[in-house]
Amino acid sequence: MCSHQPSCPSSDSHAPHVVSAHPEQGWSLLCNGAIVFDDSGELLPDGRVVAPHRVPVARLAMAA
């Protein structure tokens, strides 16, 4: 799917580029075929699902 030279990292990496953003729907397609969601979840090209992994706002406030 990726046409970058050199090609983008695999779906296990966090460095691929957004090729199609749909903020009104809450998701973006990356050049490696993964779909990332605004809630931080992911759908990988091989069908695996990465559950959302946001840090709760209350935990961020306590860290400051």
Residue 29 contacts by C-beta under 8 Å, 6 or more apart in sequence?
Answer: 18, 19, 20, 21, 22, 35
pLDDT above 90: percentage of residues in the chain: 33
Q: What is the pLDDT of residues 25-63, one digit of tens each?
A: 999 998 888 999 988 899 999 999 998 877 666 655 555
More confident call, 21 vs 1:
21
Asked whether residue 18 carries a pLDDT value surpassing 60, the answer given is yes
Looking at the DSSP bridge assignments, the partners of residue 20 are 29
User: What are φ and ψ of residue 63, in 5° steps?
Assistant: -75, -20
Residue 7 has a pLDDT of 62
